[in-house]
Chain A
Amino acid sequence: MSAKSLFEKVWDRHIVVPESAETPAILYIDLHLVHEVTSPQAFSLLRDAGLKVRRPDLTLSTMDHSTPTISVGSLQELKVVSEPAAFQQIQQMERNCEDFGLELRGMDSDERGIVHVIGPELGATQPGKTIVCGDSHTSTHGALGALAFGIGTTEVAHVLATQCLLQRKPRTFAVNLQGRLPAGVTAKDIILAIIGKIGVDGGTGHAIEYRGSAVVSLSIEERMTICNMAIEGGARTGMFAPDDATYEYLAGRPLAPQGAAWDEALSRWQTLPSDDDAQFDKEVSIDVSALKPMVTFGTNPGMVIPVDDVIPSPTLSDPGFAKALDYMALEPGRPLAGTPVDVVFIGSCTNSRMSDLRAAARVMAGRQVADGVQMLVVPGSARVKREAEAEGLPEVFEAAGAQWREPGCSMCLAMNGDYVPAGKLAVSTSNRNFEGRQGKGARTVLASPLTAAASAVSGTISDPRPLIG
């Protein structure tokens, strides 16, 4: 038998009908995550066809994208603080879950949160599972050795009705991470550097496996940050092989296997890592010990530089580059550091977990958000919020002058009423700096929680390393 990669092992174990020249494979899905924005039309499709949800027990539903982050005590209050269309979407989600017999981690659930934050924290995300969601950042779950990828709404309907997808097998891509991260440089900087190196389409058609000597020292939350942005490099998904850190992370979580089932699962999970001589279709290596904090300067995540670098000059062959700099109101040849900041956003499925909030708090403690800067800290889930409160993190943020909010996607895509005003510059820990992503006319600089917090304190885009001693 030929050597197999992690991706190939998970893929092969989920083949219901193999692919042929004429038809794609039918791939079984172990976990389907559903949220309010990309599912309404899928439920309508099922309704029109008179179909049921095949496996409600393998479906995990929540609301995150269009929900307000201001605390609400009642449905009436929710209506008042929400945009009318967003409120309707929230109501529709409640109705759909009720009609189709799905348990909903809804507005009043203490397990609600960004779909990619709650899957792992509930222990629903497990090594070797196939996981999909109508959301491109589903790759986040690959941090635990799952094969997880985003799908469109028609495919959401396919999975609801059949628990399966029609898929052609992607090619494989090894991203080798060597060395140890220097202080003040984070998982976010690693993934931004990877995207800078391979480009925003470098991974198109591929499933990434992150490998190499740097991997063992990365926590599961750090791996989630790195997997989260695989799509920003064009890849279908990103994965880490499960290891002791994975098992330690999962043990005891509410939906993780318990007792004898745990032992049985563990022996299965331990067979997942890529065989030593597994082949990859593409390979790239990065020495993480040479990395610096990374910041984006343009309108896609591949337009990225170390925080102490100057903004590159456009080449004549790329009209988009000049357009991006024009949109960002930045000049080539000048340093990005020192540029005045209007808004700082700590949150999103990329960086809204405990380790992210702790990192930001470490910079904020005993310091103040600079005059004229608005800072929003949005925990990824209700559980993260509770844990942060137990540790006293909100007090640190609030004492510094930042706002501490309810969990949700919030300013990451600005469809819940939280947005960056036109023309303003935001340093964000989210994953997309596309034109208008954080609000019409908003200018986004992507960075790590450390860099975002340092920029909030100084009022300009700043290197966090001097602040963390």
Chain B
Amino acid sequence: MEPITEIRSRTAVLPLDDVDTDQIIPARFLRTTVREGLGENLFADWRYNSDGEKNASFVLNRPEAQGAQILVAGRNFGCGSSREHAPWALLDFGFRAVISTEIADIFRNNSLKNGFLPVVVDAGIHGWLLENPGVELTLDVESRAASLPAGRVTEYPLESFSRYCILNGVDQLGFLLNHAGDISRFESRAGV
């Protein structure tokens, strides 16, 4: 994982609540044994019409959304399945963060393990972001600050260990492997 200190980008806005992982990446695209290439089918059933052509009215297909790295979405983003293919698809497409008032647990976990930043803000800021697509934001990892235009700044929650891992590009598996001794002691103590 590459270290990330900040993400600075325009936003794209998907103003729907409860966007589930089956929308982010439909199950038929999970018949893969690698992580790469999922971006092509991100939000496939919304992005493409049934004839395979791009649906011009879908937000991510509009010219102003091109190149946006921050997705602003409705409440409870990423609910549903545990598929890590969801953050993989978002990253592969070019997104690096999602902003909502609430982000589903497993999706949040999966995102943090891949350097995809889940950012929860209050309803007031969220409402403003929904109404102003395309604004330029800076998400700072160290200070957990989201900077909006006109000097408006808000802090977002980011658990300290995840923040450390993202800032330093640390792989959490390495951290666990360093505790091999503790794990062996637990196994003999618990008799497993």
Mark A residues whose CB is within 8 Å of B: 13, 16-17, 21-24, 26, 28, 30, 37-38, 40-41, 44-45, 49, 51, 54, 58, 65-66, 83, 85-86, 88-89, 92, 134-136, 150-155, 157-158, 161-164, 166, 168, 170, 200-201, 204-205, 231, 234, 236, 300, 318-320, 323, 413-415, 422, 432, 434-437, 440-441
Contact = CB atoms under 8 A, between A and B. Distances in A.
Interface stretch (B58-66, B75-83, B90-98, B143-151): B75-83
B140 interface: no
Nearest to A436: B45
Instruction: Give the one of A24, A154, A158, A413 with max B CB within 10 A.
Output: A154
Nearest to B110: A152
A85 B22 contact: no
Contacts of B106: 136, 150-152, 231, 236
A168 B176 contact: no
A162 B176 contact: yes
B156 to A, nearest CB: 16
A108 B82 CA distance: 27
Interface of B: 15-18, 20, 22-23, 26-28, 30-35, 45, 50, 74-76, 79-85, 102, 104-106, 109-110, 113-114, 159-161, 164, 172-173, 175-177, 179-180, 182-183, 186-187, 190, 192
Given A16-B179, A136-B80, A168-B159, A205 B105 contact: yes
Contact of B102 (A58, A92, A154, A201): A201
Nearest to A66: B31
Helix, strand, loop or mixed for chain A's interface? loop
A201 B180 CA distance: 36
Given A38-B83, A157-B173, A201-B104, A28 B190 contact: yes
B179 A164 contact: yes
A150 B17 contact: no
Contact of A204 (B102, B109, B190): B102
Given A28-B183, A134-B82, A136-B81, A154 B114 contact: yes
B161 A415 contact: no
Given A16-B182, A157-B173, A435-B22, 17 more contacts: A28-B190, A37-B83, A38-B84, A41-B34, A85-B32, A92-B33, A134-B82, A154-B173, A155-B109, A164-B176, A166-B161, A204-B104, A234-B79, A234-B105, A320-B18, A414-B27, A440-B45
18 contacts: A16-B182, A16-B183, A30-B192, A58-B192, A89-B32, A134-B84, A136-B80, A153-B84, A154-B110, A164-B176, A168-B159, A200-B18, A201-B79, A204-B102, A319-B15, A422-B50, A434-B20, A435-B23
B34 to A, nearest CB: 7
Contact of A432 (B22, B102, B104): B22
A152 B88 CA distance: 11
A320 B23 contact: no
Contacts of B187: 28, 163
Contacts of B16: 319-320, 323
B105 A152 contact: no
A300 B109 contact: no
Nearest to B33: A40
A319 B13 CA distance: 14
Contacts of B80: 136, 231, 432, 434
A251 B30 CA distance: 37
B177 A162 contact: yes
Given A89-B33, A320-B18, A151 B82 contact: yes
B20 A415 contact: no
Contacts of B177: 51, 161-162
Contacts of A318: 17
Given A44-B34, A163-B183, A152 B82 contact: yes
B82 A28 contact: no
Instruction: Give the one of A38, A86, A422 with max B CB within 10 A.
Output: A38
A38 B82 CA distance: 9
A140 to B, nearest CB: 13
Contact of A415 (B31, B50, B113, B172): B31
Given A162-B177, A441-B50, A320 B17 contact: yes
- Return the 9 tightest CB-CB contacts between A and B, nearest first: A85-B31, A152-B110, A40-B33, A152-B84, A150-B82, A153-B84, A154-B113, A201-B76, A136-B82
A201 B82 CA distance: 15
A231 B76 CA distance: 13
Contacts of A21: 160
Contact of A236 (B22, B30, B105): B105
